[in-house]
Homo-oligomer: A and B are copies of this chain.
């Protein structure tokens, strides 16, 4: 199928890349971080605030939206962009990860997966065709092939699941009927370099407009994650964007970009915010700590986000202690800004050829593992 999507590579520095993914709803500069709007809302943050944060890609979850309010309803309301009031690019996952992590699995076979909803126990069946049909109803700009997500440490099972994921990727592609959505394939294979290499070869051969790396950040060590990224990105085509699914601490983003990843998403910024924590450039701080009770400083000195420009640690701690809604909103704004800004800074450094200097300035090099 012909696609209106194209990836433009602007600069490379080692494995790190800076580019632009052109989509009908606007350009996506890469590297980029996508905030997660699970149920068609980035928790506690309005689309206007996301625009102010210069967010250019938002993720929504197919599994949740299929269950509530239903993909048919969202289609009837004009699709996700209209429904959630977001006119820039949206990415939906295939539902695979949530089916396997939240659903109560009744049966997995080569055809698809039968599961019970975590909401009400009702019985549902996802197949690659169904996952694509739902995502076509939702109408995001980037949609994902249906895949099987497993625990990462059993070679035999990962081999078997990978074979299904490959067959499902092909069927996902064949099921696609809309030309205005970019379908990405997903590389699986657990922590095993041999399986990951096979998977990257096969997924690359299907010639998707973009490729994703799934099944990471599920319990493996950082060293394992980095090795897999190096193996996979050595094989994935250079002229297609690479999306590392569900990964997004500041350090993960730095380490991912250094290994050739272009797109990241993660619930971390908003989830941490609801758990009273703020990102620093390379770590986090617990804002409810008594040490901030009368601290007039912003969360991070020099941070240009709305929260840091206007509020003190003392105020944010007060909001947290009083269980005020605004605490979650203001910490989410800061946390999302931190990852967006990190991706923007990395992009600029790649274009300028100043990646090493930038990482040195980040000042936490012992946890940033430079690839060879």
Contact = CB atoms under 8 A, between A and B. Distances in A.
Given A43-B326, A326-B45, A73 B315 contact: no
Nearest to A313: B77
Interface stretch (A78-86, A98-106, A131-139): A78-86
A326 B42 CA distance: 8
B48 A315 contact: no
A83 B313 CA distance: 10
B85 A326 contact: no
Interface in A53-85: 68-69, 73, 76-78, 82-85
Contacts of A44: 325-326, 329
A232 B79 CA distance: 55
Contacts of A311: 85
B324 A68 contact: no
A352 B314 CA distance: 46
Nearest to A310: B85
A163 interface: no
Nearest to A84: B315
Give 4 nearest A-B pairs by CB, closest first: A44-B325, A85-B310, A69-B318, A41-B326
Interface in A311-330: 311-312, 314-315, 318-319, 321-322, 324-326, 328-330
Nearest to A306: B48
A76 B325 CA distance: 24
A330 B40 CA distance: 14
Interface string A266-294: 00000000000000000000000000011
A91 to B, nearest CB: 19
Given A40-B318, A312-B83, A315-B83, A294 B76 contact: yes
A8 to B, nearest CB: 31
A318 B68 contact: yes
Nearest to A73: B294
A353 B328 CA distance: 45
Contacts of A324: 39, 41, 43
A104 to B, nearest CB: 20
Contacts of A84: 315
A328 B325 contact: yes
B69 A293 contact: yes
Contact of A40 (B306, B315, B325): B315
